[in-house]
Structure 1
Amino acid sequence: MSETATVFNQQLAARSAGGSTDAPPPVRHVCVVGGGTAGWMTALMLATTAYGPRLKVTVLESPQVGIIGVGEGSTPWLRGFFDGLGIEESEWMPACNATYKSGITFEGWSTKPGFQRYFHPFASMLDNMTMHQFVDNVHARLEGADVHAHPDRFFVAAALARQGRGPRARPNFPFDIWYGYHFDATLLGQFLAAKALERGVQHLQRHVTQVQLNEQGDIAHLQLDGGEPLAADFFVDCTGFASLLIGKALQTPFVSYAENLFNDAAIAMPTPLGGPIESQTVSTALRHGWAWKIPLSNRHGNGYVYSSAHCSADEAETELRRHLGLLDADVPARHLKMRVGRMENQWSRNCVAVGLSQGFIEPLEATALLFVQRTAAALVEALEQGDLGPAAQQRFNDSMRTRFENTRDYIVAHYKTNSRTDTDYWRANAENMRLSESLQGVLMTWLSRKPLAAGLKAGRFGGGYPIVSWYALLAGMGIFPDPRELQPPTSHQARHRLDAVDDFVARSATNFPDHRELLAAIPPRVGDKTLQLYLW
C-alpha cells in the first residue's frame, strides 16, 4: 500500500470512528497558488485531512498562465491516491482517456547484442516465483557463465506489455500486479479540479501581481490584479518552473542537476492510435536524447527529451518527425524548456513547493506526479500532527532531498550505462564521472560481481528503488562480461529450468485480459489483493 493511501485510510478511519479530530488545525486557511495536476491534487489531499471543513483550502489560478500538461505517465503510487479518495478507475480513467501501464520498455539505449531492448516491470506478487531464478542467473553471468540473464523472460508484467494485455487480472485470479497509468494530463487536472470543488475547495481565478512578506520574512498576502490582497496562514507553491513563491519571493536557492542530467528541452507531438493498446511506455534512444511513446485510449502521446547543448530545437524536431514518420505531415509540435534540479528546501517559512516549483527530474521514469503525491502527503501529515516548527521543517526537507537525490541517481544510471557511441551526447553520458557516492557504490558493486541485495537493504547505496528495478536496469543494459569470455555454466550455475519459468509466465499472463477489453468495461475494485509484495 502506498504512503498516500495509508495517510488517507488513517483519516477515513478517524472519521468513521467519530468524525474529524477535536484539535484545532495548526493553520485555518491554506492557499494553493497554481492549478494543473499538481495544484488540484494537493488541494484534494488537503481537503481530505482529519480537520475536514475546518481547514479552508483555496486554489488560486491565474487566467494568464497556462499549464504544461504534457506529462502523461505515472508510477503505481497514483493508484493509491485514487484508492485513498474512494474514486473508482471506472470514473476517472474514461474521463482522462487513461490506459493502464505495466512498466517501461527501453529501446536502443544499449548496443550490446541481445540487450538492445529491455523492460522495466512494475512489481507483482507473481515475481516471487521467478525473481530468485533471475537474480541467480544474473550473478552466474557476472561470474562468466553463459546463462540467460535478460530480465524480460522472468517477469509477467513484461509478457503483458508484449501481448497487449491489461495488468488487472480477471476476478478468479488471486494475484495482483502493481500497475501505473497513462492519461491526458490536462484532462486529469480538470477532473481533479471538479472533485476538489465537490469536496469544498474554493477556486479563485486571479493573477498574482506581487507577493508581500511580513517583518519575519513569511508570506503575509498575495496582491492580486485589481489591487485586492489575498491572505492565508500557509501557502503551497504550484506555479511550475516560475517558482513564484518559493523561488522568487522567498529566494530559496536552486540546486541544478545539469552536471549529470544533460537534457533540458522537450518536444511533444500527438499521433493517431492504431492497433493494440500496449500497457507500456516506450522510451527509444535517439541521437541527442530519447523519445517517448505513450498510448492513451484516443491517441498516442509522443515526444523527444533532448539536450539543447548538443542539438538545436529545429534539429530535434526534425529528428522526432523522422522517428515518427511525420517529416511531411502537418502535425503541430510543442516545444518546452525544462529546469532539471531541485530547490535547496521545499519547505521555506510558511510555504511548501509542490510539483515543478519544487524541482524536476527529467521524465524518464515518470516520477513528477510521484513527487507531487509524496510532498503533499508529507504536508498533510505535518498539518495533522500540528507541528510546523523548525525541526519538522528540517525533517521534511531532509526527506524530500533524499528522495530527489535517490531518483536522480537511478535516472543517471540509465545514461551512465549506455553503450552508444554514435554522438557526442551519448559518449559524454557514458564518460560522466560526476556521480554520487551512492550511485558509485551500486556500479562498483555490480562491476565487482557482488550481489547488490545487502547494500540496498542496509541503505549503503541505491536507496529509493527496489532490487528488481536495479537488476532490471543493469542486466537489461547488458552490463556483463564480454560474450566472447563467457564459459559453459556449471551444473550449479545452470540449476534453474528456464522452460519452467517460461511456462509459469505464459500461463499466468493468460489470466489478464486484452487491454482494450479491460478499458471497455473497467471493473470496480473489490478488496485489496496486494497483500504484501516481497521485493527482496
Structure 2
Amino acid sequence: MEKAHLIVLGGGTAGWMSALLMAKKLGVHANITLVESPDIPVIGVGEGTTPYIKQFFKQLDIAEQDWMPACQATYKCGIRFPDWSTKNQYQSYFHPFFSPLDKQVGEAFFHNANCRRAGIDVDANPNHYFVTSYLAKQGLSPHCQQPLPFELDYAYHFDAGLLGTFLQSIGTKMGVTHQQCNIIDVERHLNGDIAAIISDQGERLTADYFIDCSGFRGQLIEQTLDVPFYSYASSLKNNAAVAIQVEHQQPSKLPDKLPTETRSSALANGWMWNIPLTQRWGNGYVYSRDYLNQEQAERELRTALGISDEISARHLSMKVGRRQEHWRNNVFAIGLSQGFVEPLEATALMLVQYTIEHACEAIAGQLGGEVARLNDSKQKFNDTINDMFDGVRDYILVHYLTNSRNDSQYWLDSRNELYVPDAVQHLLEVWQSDADIDKELEHYFQTSMYSRASWYCLLAGMGVFPKVKQRSVQVSAQIAPLQPVVKYNQNCTQHFRAQQDVLAGY
C-alpha cells in the first residue's frame, strides 16, 4: 500500500475527529497535518450526541474517565420532547436509546401502539415503556452497579470547545502535525485536484488528499471546487439560533439528580434545547427569521429560562442542507463544510463520524490500488452520505409535520406548508392506515439510520393515530398491560448508579 499525505483544513471538533480517526485507521500509510487559522473562532455550540460517538472513543482507546472530566461531560440516555403535542396524554414524550433491557417491554410498546392505531384505547406513550426514560428522569447513569452481559446504548453531553482542545492534545501525541496559519490561496492541478494551499506566511502546503473542515464557508469544497449546495429550506425552515449558557449555582459541584437527558421543548416559534453539563446548562432557541428577529428570539428564550439580561447570549445563523458531493477530486468535505441539519436529534457529530469512517475506507482503497474504480467509488461514497443526510432530514421533518400546536403561524405552517418527500408522505399514510407499518419501515431502513423503535416513538409519542377506527389492523384484541412494564422498569432502575456518583469517581 502506498503512503499518502493528508491535510485537514480546519480545527474544532470535526477537524480533530477527522485527524485522529484517520491517523488511527490509516496508520503508517498516512502522514496527517491539521492546519487551522488562529483568527477564526470555533463555532462549538453542539453539545449533544448519539450513541455512535462511543465507537469513536473506543477506536482511539480513550476511556470515559480520561475525557469526560476534561470536557464537563455528562451522560445522555435520550431526548425528551415537551410541548410539541397538545393531545391529551401526549404533551411530552421520550426518544430513548433502545437496548437489550428494552427487548421485552419494547415489544409491549410496539403492540400497544398498533392497538392504538386500530382504534383501541390504550396508553401508547413511549415514556412508560423504556428503561432509559426512567434513568433520565432520576438522574441515573447508564452504568449498572453489577456488570451486565451487554452494554446499554447511551450518549454524552459535553462542551464542544473543550472536546476540540482535548482531541488536539491526543492528536499531537499520535503524530498529527498541527500548524496554525491563514490560507489565502489554493493551487490546482490540470485535472482539477488541489495541488497545494498557500499560507499567509508564503508557505506552500502540498498533500495527496485534503479534508475540508473549514466550516460553513467551505474554503475548498465551495470556494475552490464550487460543489453545489442542496438546501433543505423547503422542508426545514429554521435558519437561526440563539444560545445562552447558565452556570450551576455551585459550578464546582454537580447538582443532585442532574437529568441524563436532553430536553427539546417547543416554544412559540421554534424549539429550545436544555443540555446539562457538569458546570453549567447549555441552552438555546432554534427558530426561523421568517417569523421573528434576533431580539424577539432572545427575549423569548430568556423568558423561558427565567434569566436576566446580564447573562450574555450568542446568535448564530444556520445554513441547513448538504453538498451534492462530499468527495470531489482529492477533497473530502466533513462537518459544516459538507452540510448541516438542525440539532433537534443531535446528529451533527454522528454525520461527521460517519463521513470520516467512509472517507478512511475510500482513501485506503485508493492507496491499495483501486484507482481504476475511482469514479464508481466517488459515486457510491456521495450517494451513501447523501442518503444519511436526507434520512436525518426526513426524521426531523416529521417532528414538525406531526405537531398539534395552534398558538402561532409558525406551527400551523410547520404542519401545512413544508415540502414533504414522497417516501415520508407514504410512510405517514401507512401509519395512518390499516397497512403493515413494520413492513414499510423495513423497506425504509435501507436509506434511513433511524430504527423501528425511533419511528414508533416519534409517531406514537406525538399522539398521531387514525381518527377513525381501523379494526382491520392486524393486532390482538388483548392489549399488553402497562402495570408489569412500569414495575419492570422501576425494578431495573434500582440497579443503576447515580450520575454524580459515577462522575465523582473520575
Structure 1: which 5+ residue stretches go unaligned? 1-22, 523-536
Report the 3-state secondary structure (helix = DSSP H, G, I; strand = E; otherwise coil) of the residue aligned with 1:250.
coil
Match of 1:357 among 337, 340, 358: 337
* TM-score, normalising length: structure 1: 0.89
- State the Cα distance separating 1:412 from its structure 2 match: 0.2
Aligned to 1:310: 291
Q: Is the 2:115–2:479 Cα contact (8 Å) retained in structure 1?
A: no
- State the Cα distance separating 1:461 from its structure 2 match: 7.7
Query: How many angstroms apart in 2 are the aligned matches of 1:131 and 1:493?
Result: 18
- State the Cα distance separating 1:491 from its structure 2 match: 11
Q: Is the 1:339–1:360 Cα contact (8 Å) retained in structure 2?
A: yes
Aligned to 1:479: 464
- State the Cα distance separating 1:511 from its structure 2 match: 1.2
Aligned to 2:266: 285
State the one-letter code of the partner of 2:490.
A
Q: Is the 2:181–2:200 Cα contact (8 Å) retained in structure 1?
A: yes
Query: How many angstroms apart in 1 are the aligned matches of 2:421 and 2:399?
Result: 14
* TM-score, normalising length: structure 2: 0.94
Q: 1:198 to 1:307 in 2, by over 3 A?
A: same
Alignment deviations for residues 60-118 of structure 1 (CA, whole Å, 9 cap, x no partner): 00011111011100000000110111110010101101000000000110011110100
Aligned to 1:16: none
- 1:202 matched to 2:185? The reply is no
- State the Cα distance separating 1:194 from its structure 2 match: 0.7
Aligned to 1:29: 5
Matches of residues 73-222 of structure 1 in structure 2 within 5 Å?
73-222=48-197
Structure 2: which 5+ residue stretches go unaligned? 249-254
Query: How many angstroms apart in 2 are the aligned matches of 1:480 and 1:461?
Result: 25
Q: 1:461 to 1:228 in 2, by over 3 A?
A: closer
Aligned to 1:496: 480
Moved more, 38-47 or 127-136: 127-136
Alignment deviations for residues 452-499 of structure 1 (CA, whole Å, 9 cap, x no partner): 21122233787221000000000000002459x799xx9943342322
- 1:240 matched to 2:224? The reply is no
Aligned to 2:491: 507
Query: How many angstroms apart in 2 are the aligned matches of 1:173 and 1:86?
Result: 21
Alignment deviations for residues 503-535 of structure 1 (CA, whole Å, 9 cap, x no partner): 11111111111111121125xxxxxxxxxxxxx
Q: 1:219 to 1:194 in 2, by over 3 A?
A: same
Aligned to 2:252: none
Q: Is the 1:417–1:479 Cα contact (8 Å) retained in structure 2?
A: yes
Q: Is the 1:442–1:462 Cα contact (8 Å) retained in structure 2?
A: no
Q: 1:229 to 1:449 in 2, by over 3 A?
A: same
- State the Cα distance separating 1:175 from its structure 2 match: 4.4
State the one-letter code of the partner of 1:499.
Q
Alignment deviations for residues 122-146 of structure 1 (CA, whole Å, 9 cap, x no partner): 1110111112111111111111111
Q: Is the 2:434–2:470 Cα contact (8 Å) retained in structure 1?
A: no
Matches of residues 268-279 of structure 1 in structure 2 within 5 Å?
268-273=243-248, 274-279=255-260
Q: Is the 1:145–1:486 Cα contact (8 Å) retained in structure 2?
A: no
Query: How many angstroms apart in 2 are the aligned matches of 1:492 and 1:367?
Result: 36
Aligned to 2:24: 48
Q: Is the 1:265–1:337 Cα contact (8 Å) retained in structure 2?
A: yes
Aligned to 2:306: 325
How many residue pairs align between the two structures? 494
State the one-letter code of the partner of 1:440.
Q
Q: Is the 2:114–2:475 Cα contact (8 Å) retained in structure 1?
A: no
Q: 1:434 to 1:461 in 2, by over 3 A?
A: farther
State the one-letter code of the partner of 2:380.
R
- State the Cα distance separating 1:316 from its structure 2 match: 0.1
Aligned to 1:385: 365
Aligned to 1:519: 503
Matches of residues 435-454 of structure 1 in structure 2 within 5 Å?
435-454=420-439
Aligned to 1:367: 347
Query: How many angstroms apart in 2 are the aligned matches of 1:261 and 1:427?
Result: 14
Aligned to 1:5: none
Report the 3-state secondary structure (helix = DSSP H, G, I; strand = E; otherwise coil) of the residue aligned with 1:171.
coil
Match of 1:294 among 269, 275, 278: 275
Moved more, 433-442 or 133-142: 433-442
